[in-house]
């Protein structure tokens, strides 16, 4: 197209002038909004909830993985793993810790209870998929997940993937 130039194999609009795409700008804006929600002295414990196996990742404000663990327990037995994750965050020098998980099914309510018992704030994110996008997931026959997302994980911090 006349309005596009090629730089390093990526289409870049001439209006940006600095070589960033619209997607780059949107991604950077989203990261800045998230950084505003989590102070620099805070870490996030991201949990990908499943039936019998839970993935836990401790990440900093730039989503760098500080610690990672997979435990084979039901969600209501995650207390020991949460304590481990908090200890990992504090050992890395983070004063504040927030727990994040995607509110799917009833499992996240168990995490909410465990966080309340420990005085940990819980941040969760609703799925942004529209009903039209969810239909192929239901047809995949994997209880609301597409075939690839079960392996990739669904934790909002994206470090559990």
Verdict on whether the full-model pTM lies above 0.85: no
| Residue 45 included in any domain | yes
Per the CB < 8 A criterion, the answer to whether 47 and 111 are in contact is: yes
DSSP class of residue 75? G
Highest mean pLDDT among 28-32, 37-41, 154-158: 28-32
| Residue 21 included in any domain | no
Q: Convert the pLDDT of each residue in 52-74 to its tens digit.
A: 999 999 998 878 899 999 999 99
- CATH number, domain of 158, equals 3.30.420.80
| Residue 30 included in any domain | no
Number of structural domains (the chain) is 1
| Residue 56 included in any domain | yes
């Amino acid at each position: 197209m006349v309005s596009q130039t090629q730089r390093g194999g990526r289409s870049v609009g001439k209006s940006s002038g600095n070589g960033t795409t619209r997607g780059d700008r949107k991604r950077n804006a989203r990261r800045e909004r998230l950084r505003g929600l989590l102070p620099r002295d805070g870490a996030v414990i991201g949990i990908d909830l499943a039936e019998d196996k839970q993935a836990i990742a401790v990440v900093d404000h730039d989503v760098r993985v500080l610690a990672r663990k997979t435990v084979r327990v039901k969600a209501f037995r995650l207390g020991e793993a949460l304590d481990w994750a908090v200890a990992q965050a504090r050992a890395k020098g983070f004063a504040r810790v927030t727990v994040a998980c995607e509110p799917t099914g009833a499992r996240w309510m168990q995490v909410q209870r465990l966080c309340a018992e420990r005085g940990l704030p819980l941040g969760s994110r609703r799925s942004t998929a529209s009903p039209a996008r969810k239909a192929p997931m239901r047809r995949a026959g994997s209880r609301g997940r597409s075939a690839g997302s079960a392996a990739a994980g669904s934790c909002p911090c994206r470090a559990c993937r």
